[in-house]
Amino acid sequence: MKLPNKKFLIAGFALTVLAQLAIPLKMVYDSEMTASHGTEYKFRTRPIDPSDPFRGKYITLDFESSSVNIDNTDWKYGEEAYVYIKTDAEGFAYVTNMSHQPLDTPNDYFMGKARPVYDGKMNIDFPFDRFYMEEGKAYEAELAYTEYNNDTVARPAYAVVAVKGGNCVLKDVIIDGMPIREYVLKEREKGK
């Protein structure tokens, strides 16, 4: 039995390495294209469950518009769904529909996951429910986000999400009209 030529082994190895690099590079490229060329939507947030502890270098987000009226109940928990969105008169995004297959509609969409149906509404897990931050600011940001969202007279806190072709990228979280990183720094200064 004749062994393969060294040139073929090296070429095969090089192709394998390139194939393994191609997938993560494509994911990064898609995220960058979505962030820079996608349509930006503002999703109103709401307070997180206070029993849910701080989990590390990110803040956990929950959204006001994370459900949609639905007639059929043939959804399985965790099933992937096309989630279609529009913008209301105040400029905030809301879910208009979700489906198993792409719909022929001009509305933007992203991929979400089905949750249980309750009282005729399907709850949806959004893929952008974590906002990562520097470790030194993340805990303060989580506390500020929770406290601010519990204030019923404050301006709404919201997430800025770019959406393009089913992909979505969480760009920022806005509290009191400013990015959460700036808000945390402002609160630190007030506390000194």
Q: What pLDDT digit, counting tens, does each position of 67-81 carry?
A: 888 876 678 888 999
Q: 57-71, 76-90, 139-153, 163-177: which range is least confident on average? A: 139-153
- Among 18-27, 58-67, 99-108, 120-129, the least confident range: 18-27
Contact assessment for residue 157 and residue 150, using Cβ atoms and an 8 Å cutoff: no
50, 102, 150, 158, 164 from 139: Cα distances, Å: 14, 39, 17, 18, 31
Higher pLDDT pick, 19 / 129: 129
What whole-number distance in Å separates Cα of residue 184 and Cα of residue 43? 20
Per the prediction, the chain carries an average pLDDT of 82
Q: Does 136 or 81 have the greater pLDDT score? A: 81
CA within 13 Å, CB half, 48: 18
Residue 191: what pLDDT? 67
